[in-house]
Amino acid sequence: MSDKPYKFDESPEPTRSSTLRRDALFGEASEQQANSEAQSHSVSEPGERDSGSVNKPQYKTKVKSQTLDIAQPETKLPQQVTEDVWEVEAKKGGISLGAATLGFGVISLLGFFVFEAYTTLVVNVSEHPIGTGVLGALLIGFVSCFSFLSFKEWRGYKQVNTAMEDASVIRNLLANQGIEPSAGKQPSAENQPSPEKIDRVLNQHGKRFSQGSYAAHCFDRYQQQLQDDMTGPERLGLYEDTVLKPVQEKAYKVLNKESVTAGSLAFISPNNLIQTFAVVWISFRTIRRMARVYGLRPSTAGNWKLLKVLAQNIAAQGVFDLATDEVANQIGGSLSAKFMENSAEAIAAGALNARLGRALIKLLK
């Protein structure tokens, strides 16, 4: 430590303010300063013989130190953003709950068939214990999983609604943050929401992101970059930069890709029925993938809105098909006419899918 070998025998007693020194060292402007300070200096006249025995002071330390018996912990390098690899499709790990439900259902159905066949064959041994037990177990499994799945869905929908409320709180906080203080003024601490309050809101919002979603991935990065000395607005700004904006950008990227796929499928579809099926499939895939980005699924109300948009899209696609067919008929049945018809339908399918995606983004952001 840097304790200085001072002796605190004598402290300079203030005599009078050294305006001469201030003025001469730094110029005329220093006079303004001269009277504003509480500091006083004892002044020796230039040329004064023998400055006396002014000893160096010894100060009382306000820091207590003790040696620890442990090694200094290593600081980890921060996360590398270049490692920002995230796949829209979730990695399949084992059998999903949905597949298990379906499996149990199919097995139960088969079981009943087998049981029925079995009872038909062995009419007289209807009280066969093993068959009944197995079928009963399968049925219980199916009913249990189905109930749990339903519960999870219900809980998910509830969470989405709360997440939307959180999002509106965050939007309000961000809007209030945009007020700029004028030049030379200190930002007023009273008007700023406390870091604790902002932390609470952001953590609540972040906690609802489903595991493995892009939003959850961004939220992890936000938490890693948080520093203890950050103010509330700084935390909010960091959340906006590391979670809200990247998620939004990713959602638009995914939507663009899905719209191109929708257009491509519409282009290569040989007939209107297949085209409609393709549009419906790609629409559901868009909804699923976007939900993976946001880490949320649309709520019940949202689903209805989306289904409405989907139905409108399909209807619009149908009308568009009719129109392009008619135009193609007028032009003639040449290959170029077919090409033109399919191109127009592809553009329409892409645009309609983008419309669906934008409705979805509006619901989820």
Residues 55-74 that bind another protein (CB under 8 A): 55-57, 59-68, 70-74
Write the burial class of residue 173 (CB in 10 Å: 0-12 exposed, 13-18 middle, 19+ buried). Answer: buried
**H or E, element range at 326:** helix 300-331
Q: Is 35 in the site for another protein (CB under 8 A)?
A: no
Contacts (CB under 8 A) with another protein, residues 236-275: 237-238, 241-242
Are 166 and 204 in contact, with CB atoms under 8 Å apart? yes
Cβ atoms within 10 Å, residue 30? 14
Q: Which two tokens stand for residue 9?
A: 């025998």
Are 363 and 290 in contact, with CB atoms under 8 Å apart? no
SS3 of residue 16 by DSSP:
strand
Q: Which of 13, 35, 51, 123 binds another protein (CB under 8 A)?
A: 51
Q: Is 232 in the site for another protein (CB under 8 A)?
A: no
Residues 6+ apart with CB under 8 A from 310: 280, 283, 356
SS3 of residue 41 by DSSP:
strand
Contacts (CB under 8 A) with another protein, residues 174-193: 180-181, 183-184, 186-187
Q: Whole-number minimum distance, CB 279 to another protein, in Å?
A: 28
Q: Is 78 in the site for another protein (CB under 8 A)?
A: yes
Q: Which is nearer to another protein, 22 or 289 (CB)?
A: 22
Query: Which range in 78-86, 89-97, 121-129, 349-357 contacts another protein by CB under 8 A?
Result: 78-86
Q: Which of 114, 143, 230, 340 binds another protein (CB under 8 A)?
A: 230
Q: Is 81 in the site for another protein (CB under 8 A)?
A: yes
Q: Is 195 in the site for another protein (CB under 8 A)?
A: no
Residue 235 amino acid letter: R
Q: Which is nearer to another protein, 47 or 333 (CB)?
A: 47
Q: Which is nearer to another protein, 60 or 91 (CB)?
A: 60
Q: Which two tokens stand for residue 251?
A: 């959602």
Q: Which of 159, 204, 210, 225 binds another protein (CB under 8 A)?
A: 225
CA distance 341 to 329: 10
Q: Which is nearer to another protein, 48 or 89 (CB)?
A: 48
